[in-house]
């Protein structure tokens, strides 16, 4: 998960930082790109639940039973919204 998020961060002008510990992750949105909430709503439209935290952070907390194909779905959805 962290490797995929760091790849997105390197390609996206919207993301300033990625923090992860295990399957918990935070994607910090640059302040000039707006708040995290609209990005979370776009992710929900794609079937990905995400929570905005501290205005600028998208919090991702997938289940511990995450399968490889579900991880791919998550990464591709994040790419579509953030890149």
Nearest Cα neighbor of 38 from 25, 26, 55 is 55
- On whether the pTM is more than 0.95, the answer is no
In SS3 terms, 14-46 reads as CEEEEEEECCEEEEEECHHHCCCHHHHHHHHHC
How confident is the model over 21-77, as pLDDT tens digits? 989 999 999 999 999 999 999 999 999 999 999 999 999 999 999 999 999 999 999
């Amino acid at each position: 998960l962290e490797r995929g998020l760091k790849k997105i961060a390197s390609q996206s002008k919207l993301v300033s930082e990625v923090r992860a510990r295990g399957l918990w992750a935070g994607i910090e949105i640059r302040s000039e790109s707006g708040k995290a909430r609209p990005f979370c709503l776009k992710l929900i439209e794609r079937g990905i639940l995400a929570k905005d935290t501290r205005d600028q952070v998208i919090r991702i907390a997938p289940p511990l039973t995450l399968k490889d194909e579900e991880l791919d779905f998550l990464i591709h959805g994040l790419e579509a919204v953030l890149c």
